[in-house]
Structure 1
Amino acid sequence: MLNMQFDIKRMSALKEIILYLRDGGSLEALQIHFEQHFNDVRPLDLLLMQLELINGDYGVTMEDVKKFSSMHDQLSINDKENTFINYATNHPVQIFKAENTAFQVLLNQIQQLLESIEKNPDQTIGDELTQHIFHLGEFHNHYNRKEKLFFPIMERYGHIAPARTVWRKDDRIRALYQALKKQIVRLPLDVERVRMRYTAFAREFKEMIFQEETIILPILKTIFSQSDWLAVANESDAFGYAIIEAPAEKWTPTVEKKTNDTPHAENLVMGGGGHLTTEEAQLIFNNLPLEITFVDKNDLFKYFNEITEASEMMLVRTPSSIGRNVANCHPPKSLMKVMTIIRDLKTGRRTSESMWFKMKGKYIHITYKSLFNDEGEFLGILEYVQDIQPFFELPSEVKMGLSEL
């Protein structure tokens, strides 16, 4: 089935309906127009189109979509695909919603503190305001789970464009938050500038909460299977949670089908240097002091080793991303740089590329290397990541012997 988010004709028709509502059009005329264009459209596809309209350059605002959403019942939209499900409190959907509720509470507290300072600038509550704004920064965990766990599964079902447009909006919200954070730590506290930065951030942040609650989660609830939600639950710890505590127990389906996905241990021929069993090769890869990723010749993320828990990785990788196009694994803002490196490695313009940076008190070194077989055929790209901080901390004296027991 053609993904409805790419149906330009219907997208334009939905835009016209939404703008007609903005201009105060009558419900009767709206119903006729809606039935003419959307009588055979699934609620899922309608949600996907709304997601595209509010995040793309269509001139449709969040208020427009809110007004349209409030008309759903009156427009007789048949939503049998997404009937009410009573999810357990530790289900990823409930956790995501609980975080959004916590965000709303924290936003209200920040708003009250700002109003109090504006009324009485001599109050000593600047530190409390700063703490609240820094605490709000945990939304990064919330967004990372959405982008690195929800989106890869959406893409497997063919819904690539909505994930990219939402991720782009997430990055804008991140930038607005960074501007707010920089302003709040400047002394003396400029309340007017803090208010300006906060207002810009809070407006778009609240709009994203609305998107998640009324559009994104209903889409996921429609298309995700129990095994999809189980993968999300199992991999969420790698990215952490926002404001709320991590669930005491991971969610599991009521009925869990047992499968054995462990590959049969067989010999792997290693050209000229002997051979290894699958088990031996896996142990070697997982004990190298490097995080290894392999992207195949079709730009698909195919493998990563597991030298530590996902939450402790320098660059977090989880099984949900396996099979994902490498372009979709990176934020939209860095896509051009990533695709340039991939193009150059594929064409042989360069055989490798390295970069290094400091993260969480460590120097991280990354190398991307193109892989060609003996016939000159490009097979993929190997990425290896290493914590090189220990090398900076080596003592000046030479160590040649073994450590004492």
Structure 2
Amino acid sequence: MGEFLQFDENKIQNIMEIKLNFLKGEISLEHAKKKMKESVDHVTAQEFAICEQYLQQYGITDDELSERMEEILEIFEGILVTNKLQLTLGHPIRTYLDEVVAIREVLGEMRNMLNQKFIKNQWTEHYDKLSEINIHFARKQNQLFPALEKKGFDKPSKVMWTLENNIKDIIKKAKEYLESNLVNEFLDIQNEVIEMVEDMMVKEEEILYPTSMDLLTNEDFVDMRKGDDEIGYCLIPDPPPYQNENSKEKNMSSSEDLLNDLAQVLRKHGVGTNSSREDILDVSQGKLTLEQINLIFKHLQVDLSYVDENEMVKFYSDTKHRVFPRSAGVIGREVQNCHPRESVDTVEEIIRAFREGEQDEAEFWLEIGGKFIYIIYNAVRDDTGKFRGVLEMMQDVTKIRSLKGSQRLLSWNEQQESIQKKVRDKEIYNEYGITKDTIIGDLIKEYPFIKEYLLNLSPKFKKIKNPIIFKTMSSMATLEMISERGGLDCQDLINKIVGEINTKSKS
């Protein structure tokens, strides 16, 4: 990391000595603060980041660093200075900063509401907004953190990720209190929620973003911007594109990037030297072109990720129904840095057992947001049995788990099966076959005007406007999930949709 920054080695050494003496219990917090002010006039975000990175060389673990971060920051009270960043719209760091402003607006409204009469609907609306912070975190974890790791700065992914998970956990807990009408419990943790979120915003503004600006190049940010849309944005409109004015290279889609990367690898091994998409390649069972290989991966109904024998992420499939957000920033990243610190031990244990031949697969399943996710890891071995990496396969199997009986006849529209004169699971069937399990993307494809109708039906459906988010949710979100999001009764929502279709059909 130091090779990318200019700094005073003596100053860094003095700062490190004070911090280490405090962390090892040799001096008190007040003594550490006093010595720091006597030793240095000011400390920049970059100097702070360098010291955090070096602490591991002195036996300070990431766990300890995470748990004592507040105390460490207190040592620098009054002397930690941050340059105000002035960036153009579309720059990835400007986008993060704009999101911070938007998040703070929500926090400010929540503070005001604590002094007013409790109204559940108002709090529900604000927590729907605050929950979008998960998008802010996801973009950092998949875009910004990998870029910083390549420069030797891995503390954000190892320490900040844990703090972000703590925030997500307390927001989830607050929402559970709210939905269960536990008003006192809900109100009692609001100050903690606000404080934790605000504390994270401060860390980002004062340390993470200024350091990122010094460590990363303009080309890094141009590449980062290409993957930002894939994950989406928190509480702000989609930013404009960001392009390096000095670069003559044109932006390429992620599929074009993948094709070119594959072509380079193949050329290296003397295959497809003309780099044509039409070159016929001998695969294990058949003959395919690069374009066909890419299309197969893109249309798989399961998400794939491949980590090689050196524990580096080498590939993920670019499917439209991706379960969790991914971006090109993870390619070439150590797999340990793609997981929160709490689950790294599990990841390393899986790799160890695969590498040593003790196991060949590990499976997990979890329920998230009404979806049942199945995950399986397989050891990848060559023909000689040598360990060559790990293949992760992930799939939303919610629909598969609900299937019953048999379907032996061709049915182009699964909804046709639902057109039956009966009531099941409290669902009233209608002439259009619309049920709680109807996929929103299928419904809008059949009746495009329903998209605008939903936007007018509830402000909570505003995310449908975002093409990236809509693309992600349209293939998996059911009407039951949509109704929960909009705070509506599912059958009531179905009735309203059926009524709108009837109205449009008659007009």
TM-score interval, normalised by the smaller of the two chains: 0.7 to 0.9
Counterpart position of 1:270:
283
Looking at structure 2, the residues matched to 362 and 26 of structure 1 have their Cα atoms a distance apart, in angstroms, of: 53
Matched, 1:60 2:71: yes
The structure-2 alpha-carbon separation of the partners of 1:60 and 1:360, relative to structure 1 and needing over 3 Å to count, comes to closer
Unaligned runs of 5+ in 2: 6-11, 56-63, 264-274, 414-507
CA contact (8 A) 2:18 2:32 kept: no
With the length of structure 2 as denominator, give the TM-score of the two structures. 0.65
Matches within 5 A, 1:198-217: 198-217=190-209
Matches within 5 A, 1:352-367: 352-367=361-376
Matched, 1:372 2:384: no
1:293 to 296, 305, 329: 305
Q: CA deviation at 1:360?
A: 4.3
1:322 to 331, 334, 340: 331
> How many residues in Structure 1 have an aligned counterpart in Structure 2?
373
2:213 to 210, 216, 221: 221
Looking at structure 2, the residues matched to 86 and 178 of structure 1 have their Cα atoms a distance apart, in angstroms, of: 34
Counterpart position of 2:247:
256
Looking at structure 1, the residues matched to 299 and 212 of structure 2 have their Cα atoms a distance apart, in angstroms, of: 36
CA contact (8 A) 1:62 1:207 kept: no
Matches within 5 A, 1:390-405: 390-392=399-401, 394=403, 396-399=405-408
1:216-258, CA deviations, whole angstroms, 9 ceiling, x for partnerless residues? 00011111112221232222222222222222x3222223331
CA contact (8 A) 1:110 1:133 kept: no
CA contact (8 A) 1:54 1:65 kept: no
Please give the secondary structure, in 2, of the residue aligned with 1:60: helix
1:124-150, CA deviations, whole angstroms, 9 ceiling, x for partnerless residues? 633212321332111111111111111
Looking at structure 1, the residues matched to 33 and 407 of structure 2 have their Cα atoms a distance apart, in angstroms, of: 81
Q: CA deviation at 1:8?
A: 8.2
The structure-2 alpha-carbon separation of the partners of 1:9 and 1:400, relative to structure 1 and needing over 3 Å to count, comes to farther
Q: CA deviation at 1:25?
A: 7.2
Deviates more, 1:378-387 or 1:279-288: 279-288
Matched, 1:304 2:316: yes
Counterpart position of 1:90:
90
State the one-letter code of the partner of 1:112: N
Looking at structure 2, the residues matched to 242 and 380 of structure 1 have their Cα atoms a distance apart, in angstroms, of: 35
1:263-300, CA deviations, whole angstroms, 9 ceiling, x for partnerless residues? 224554334x3443333322322232222111000010
Counterpart position of 1:76:
none
Looking at structure 1, the residues matched to 294 and 145 of structure 2 have their Cα atoms a distance apart, in angstroms, of: 28
The structure-2 alpha-carbon separation of the partners of 1:204 and 1:12, relative to structure 1 and needing over 3 Å to count, comes to farther
With the length of structure 1 as denominator, give the TM-score of the two structures. 0.80
CA contact (8 A) 1:15 1:60 kept: no
State the one-letter code of the partner of 1:246: D
CA contact (8 A) 1:21 1:67 kept: no
Counterpart position of 1:75:
none
Deviates more, 1:371-380 or 1:285-294: 285-294
CA contact (8 A) 1:345 1:351 kept: yes
State the one-letter code of the partner of 1:286: K
Looking at structure 2, the residues matched to 132 and 390 of structure 1 have their Cα atoms a distance apart, in angstroms, of: 31
2:291 to 265, 276, 279: 279
Counterpart position of 1:348:
357
Matched, 1:235 2:248: no
Deviates more, 1:95-104 or 1:283-292: 283-292
CA contact (8 A) 1:17 1:30 kept: no
Matches within 5 A, 1:149-160: 149-160=143-154
The structure-2 alpha-carbon separation of the partners of 1:10 and 1:185, relative to structure 1 and needing over 3 Å to count, comes to same
CA contact (8 A) 2:366 2:373 kept: yes
Counterpart position of 1:112:
112
CA contact (8 A) 2:138 2:325 kept: no
Q: CA deviation at 1:56?
A: 5.2
Looking at structure 1, the residues matched to 242 and 169 of structure 2 have their Cα atoms a distance apart, in angstroms, of: 33
1:170 to 153, 164, 170: 164
